[in-house]
Structures are given as structure tokens and as C-alpha cells.
């Protein structure tokens, strides 16, 4: 491999140094939040500007795949870059708490939510709280005459990567809870494995595959942008099923940012719960509107998963990797 010109090598070193200085400056002056691209519109449109206006503190969301973010947190040891973890599933929060990566929290306003939005009780509080939710949907081209049945569909699947994506974690929860054999068939038909919820929906929109499981909030976001996709609650053996995707928050151990506790409370403020619908997410606290276009789920029994059983879930994840 040829050597880099001296001027270019020096430039790369300087650029790397500036990047490190900028990151350290961000850690010192802002609240660093590890989060998911599925929440990017909500952060940009409501959470970051709203918290700055309410508390005078900047929020710096870091968008990397869920698995990469957790590994990044583990590698940081006692000097974490992130103060807060905001993700679309509590799996990493439960796993991380048991590994000493998160500390208990208590958010009084959040205690008004239904039990499915409250994390496990431990000494000192709870491991996590969910501040927003959205149903898991199946998403497919508008040209389809009916929603495919996931037990029998013979189409190209885009199955989110189970070890990198929270969306993939929910795919595993869905199939393992209801029909592992249907999950095996889905893996056989998977041609692409997106690494986040946005890629799952975009893959249907651009024709990379014909069927995926994705979040209602992200589907509504893409439909509002003109994406030519249709959706329904997942159909399995002729029956629509409801699996809630719970956007959850945890507090990183060894963080030193005093704004972190205020941000946790801000997620359950009237202002934030009101703003969720404008960004396609559903509130967890009563008395707030649901998003336009939200699917009617009244009367449906949700598929509930005990997230404290994360080790069993972790053992099942590799079965949903597509191996070529």
C-alpha cells in the first residue's frame, strides 16, 4: 500500500484530534444520549429543542445501531460517553443493568402509566421506563391486494438484523412468542437484513424486498414523505396480532451530567407527551392524543414479553440471522 503524502497524513491526524476534542467538549457541555434512528424525527423536532428551551441544556443524540451502541458503552468502562440510553426496546437496558451498566431510576410522573410501560422494580427504583410506544406492523407494497399471512407468505422478506437492531429484537419476540416455525420460514425467505427500523421500511419503499416487520411510527413517517407502502397489524394464521414496541429510557452508570435526571422527567412531561403524536409515536400517559393514521388496536390483547428474561431472548437471537 503506498504511503500517504506528508501533508495528507498530517491533515488526517489533526482532523482526528479535532474530532476527539469536539467529542470531549460535547461530553462536558451537553447531555449525550445514545438512541436509535427510529426516534430521530422525535429528537430533532421535539426532544432536543424542547429540552433546551425548558432546561437550557443541549441534547446530543448519538445514532448508531443498537448493538454497536451497547458495545460502545461496555468499552467505555467507568468513563461513559453517554449519560442516557433511549432505545426502542428494553432488552439492552435489562441486560446492561445486570452487567452494571445502568442504575435504578424513579420517575414519579411515569408511575401513572400502564404496567407494561414500567420496568422491573429493583432496590432504588426501576431499571427502565417507557415514555412512548408504537405497534409492530407488517409493511408491504401497495400493489398487494391483502396483507400477507406471515405463516404462509412466499415473498422476499426484509428481516431486521437481530444482533444489531432493536427492530430485529422485536421480530424475534414476535415469532418466538407466537410461532417459532413461522419465524424459521421468515428467515429462509429473508434476502436482506436491515440494521435499523428506518432501513426496514425504506427497503420496501425502494423495492429491495416485499415484506418486513417494522414500527408504525416509522411507517407513518415514511408514508408522510410519500413512500408507496401499505401496512397492517401482523397477520399470523389469519389473525391480527398486537406487539407493542416500547421506547424506553435508562440512566447510564458513572455518568456525571446533572441534566440527566431532568431529561428523564422531561420525557414524561405534558409537553413531551403532547408532542409524541406529531412525530407518529403514541403516548404512555393518559389524556394525550394518538398520531394521525394510527391503527385502531382497541380490544386486541397485546403480546407481552417479560424483558427481565433477556438471557432467553439473547439465546434465540442468532437463529434469526441470515447466513449465506
| Chain Cα centroid distance, residue 68 | 13
| Residue whose C-alpha cell reads 451502541 in the numeric block | 69
State the DSSP H helix or E strand holding residue 135, giving kind and residue range, or none if neither.
strand 129-141
> Do 236 and 139 fall within a single domain?
yes
What letter does residue 58 receive in the DSSP assignment? Answer: E
* Domain count across the chain: 2
Residues 200 and 63 occupy one common structural domain: no
Cell numbers that stand for 185 in this block: 420460514
Q: Are residues 126 and 261 in the same domain?
A: yes
Q: Examine residue 67 and state whether it is found in any structural domain, yes or no.
A: yes
* 276 and 248 both lie in a single domain: yes
Q: How far apart are CA 197 and CA 165, in angstroms?
A: 7
Model-level pTM? 0.89
In a domain, 120, yes or no: yes
| pLDDT attached to residue 324 | 67
Q: Judge whether residue 21 has pLDDT over 90.
A: no
* Residue 69 belongs to a domain: yes
Tell me if 56 is assigned to some domain.
yes
Residue 265 to residues 8, 55, 142, 268, 279, Cα–Cα distance (Å): 47, 11, 40, 6, 19
- Cell numbers that stand for 95 in this block: 441486560
- 159 plus 285 within the same structural domain: no
Residue 302 lies in a domain: no
Alpha helices in the chain (DSSP H): 6-29, 40-42, 48-55, 66-75, 91-98, 166-178, 180-189, 197-205, 216-224, 259-266, 270-275, 310-316
Question: In this predicted structure, which of 22-26, 105-109, 252-256, 265-269 has the lowest mean pLDDT?
Answer: 22-26
| Same-domain pairing of 127 and 196 | no
Take residue 66 and report the three cell numbers written for it: 443498537
Instruction: Provide the CATH number for the domain around residue 129.
Output: 3.40.190.10
Same domain? 64 vs 195: no
Cα distances from 231 to residues 156, 228, 245, in angstroms, run 16, 10, 16
Domain assignment of residue 276, yes or no: yes
- What is the per-residue pLDDT for 9? 35
Give me the pLDDT at residue 111, please. Answer: 97
139 and 237 both lie in a single domain: yes
Task: Please report whether residue 12 resides in a domain.
Answer: no
110 and 157: one domain?
no
pLDDT at 88: 92
pLDDT in tens, 79-136: 899 999 999 999 999 999 999 999 999 999 999 999 999 999 999 999 999 999 999 9
Residue 233 C-alpha from the chain's centroid? 18
Cα–Cα distance between 167 and 66 in angstroms, integer? 9
Range of the domain at 196: 135-243+313-320
Amino acid at each position: 500500500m503506498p504511503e500517504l503524502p506528508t501533508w495528507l497524513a498530517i491533515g488526517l491526524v489533526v482532523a482526528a484530534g479535532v474530532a476527539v476534542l469536539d467529542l470531549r467538549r460535547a461530553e462536558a457541555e451537553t447531555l449525550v444520549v445514545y438512541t436509535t434512528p427510529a426516534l430521530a424525527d422525535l429528537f430533532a423536532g421535539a426532544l432536543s429543542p424542547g429540552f433546551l428551551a425548558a432546561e437550557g441544556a443541549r441534547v446530543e443524540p448519538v445514532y448508531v445501531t443498537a448493538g454497536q451502541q451497547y458495545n460502545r458503552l461496555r468499552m467505555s468502562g467507568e468513563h461513559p460517553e453517554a449519560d442516557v440510553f433511549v432505545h426502542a426496546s428494553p432488552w439492552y437496558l435489562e441486560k446492561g443493568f445486570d452487567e452494571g451498566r445502568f442504575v435504578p431510576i424513579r420517575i414519579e410522573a411515569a408511575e401513572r402509566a400502564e404496567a407494561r410501560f414500567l420496568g422491573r422494580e429493583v432496590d432504588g427504583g426501576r431499571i427502565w421506563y417507557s415514555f412512548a410506544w408504537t405497534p409492530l406492523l407488517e409493511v408491504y407494497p401497495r400493489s398487494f391486494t391483502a396483507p400477507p399471512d406471515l405463516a404462509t407468505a412466499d415473498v422476499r422478506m426484509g428481516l431486521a438484523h437481530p444482533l444489531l437492531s432493536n427492530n430485529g429484537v422485536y421480530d424475534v419476540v414476535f415469532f418466538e412468542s407466537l410461532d417459532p416455525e413461522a419465524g424459521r420460514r421468515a428467515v429462509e425467505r429473508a434476502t436482506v437484513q436491515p440494521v435499523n427500523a428506518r432501513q426496514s421500511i425504506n427497503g420496501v419503499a425502494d423495492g429491495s424486498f416485499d415484506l418486513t416487520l417494522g414500527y408504525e411510527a416509522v411507517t407513518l413517517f415514511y408514508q408522510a414523505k410519500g413512500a408507496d407502502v401499505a401496512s397492517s397489524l401482523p397477520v399470523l394464521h389469519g389473525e391480527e396480532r398486537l406487539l407493542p414496541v416500547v421506547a424506553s429510557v435508562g440512566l447510564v452508570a458513572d455518568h456525571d451530567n446533572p441534566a440527566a435526571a431532568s431529561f428523564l422527567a422531561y420525557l414524561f412531561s405534558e409537553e413531551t407527551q403532547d408532542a409524541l403524536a406529531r412525530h407518529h409515536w403514541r403516548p404512555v400517559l393518559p389524556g394525550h392524543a394518538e398520531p394521525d393514521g394510527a391503527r385502531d388496536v382497541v380490544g386486541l390483547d397485546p403480546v407481552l414479553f417479560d424483558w427481565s428474561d433477556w438471557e432467553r431472548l439473547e439465546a434465540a437471537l442468532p437463529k434469526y440471522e441470515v447466513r449465506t
